[in-house]
Structure 1
């Protein structure tokens, strides 16, 4: 068995014809048929049923096709990454949405502005950020986690040969438009939030590291009036245009943040959230990434 035979299987299945597959693969039809027959003889099982109308997969062939498709797809991804003309000077960071993180990312862009430099900041949730680091789609991930998630997070990272560096700590607070009548209150209760839309950033409330349990722990009222926002603009617009609130992390930052949102403590329990960096184990970070991390720590220390 070799890679080309697997590629042939995928092409035959997806074109529905040996003749069409042979044409797409730039080989003769007899040669393609012989390749498949040789593979079937080697493994001792039929992959295709053959009749006057063409070929169809056997039940065993269906399984073979799925494995072959997965291998061919991975090969195409690797081939694309290796052969595509790309910039060696790249910085790719996965992070949750944050004005200060964005600001420090732009500082990296300004400082390391070589003509052929490429910068990328991917806004994503915890699980997606970690996956991007695992797949080497990003150099590092900036994530958040609560005390309830730490053990599970460390186990998950260890299994994937990743390591964690804590950066700074924030506290969960209620976000509300400064135009809202309750925005001047020094503390908000469950009753104060009743009847309001609960605005949530989608990526913080999905996956194994979602903040759903944290909402229950704080006693945030469960409501059917929920708005899921996929980006910061929708998140801010919803809070300013509707009778609504959000529960977000309030980071104590040295940088002046120009925001029209009030950040108000919630009655009862306090919940700290840690911001941390995820990177591949034993991998030395580029100077640019170290500069970015140090700037973040300086901003929030």
Structure 2
């Protein structure tokens, strides 16, 4: 083979990981989404990527940025989602709104993860979770180009089907034993203060998260796009809570899974500033136990929460959605420059 032919077969170091054809499909995805919301008179908004506050969630690590503000060095954070700022807009304007933007989560690299990725987030005033699920189904139908049926699957039922024990009533010892039986070893979630109720709840949720991600998630959404509903209350984050038909407290949220991949996360939004502040404070206590930095709370969001009208909101990972729509197996196929090559 000649040198010229050999060079033509190798990609230059600067080349993108996605093809031109995929870039065109990505552009079409964005266009269809914007058309969908335009016909429903949902306002497109743009909020800052940088904030003085960070996400307190233990399992979402913010990317810090050193900036100079009024001639003084200070730390800002790239948002992990546009949620905080959009809720401030929602409390003021009280209209349906959406945003498509880059978001950032530190130390997330893999076939389905990247430090920077693209999120679609939208909020609908006076929508409950059923209303929002219906609208999500309408959007998916428009993107797929044919009718879609969404399967509804309770977290408890999925857990019992694929793990074999009840997630809300099983003992910590039973959860740990099942994890070890499934080969999930080397995890130690039990190093907390004895008798601390919050700590015991955190330990339980850590085992549940581990089992769900390894034993349940890969089985979801292969026949039909699947909504997992009625999550444990410890996963409520910024969602309201309710009581299920067995009398167990659950989070009012759902997640969308397609082909074993988590695509979207929706909440019936919490509108209680003091309750939100307590959750942020608890998050920071948990971060301290995990030797993670304390994150400055978003006091603007806490104040706005008391003025937030009843609403539901959803965040959709657009890169992952494009993956399942096109049959791609890695984020590298649907974004031009992954974090390692950016």
TM-score by length of 1: 0.26
Select the structure of larger CA radius of gyration: 1
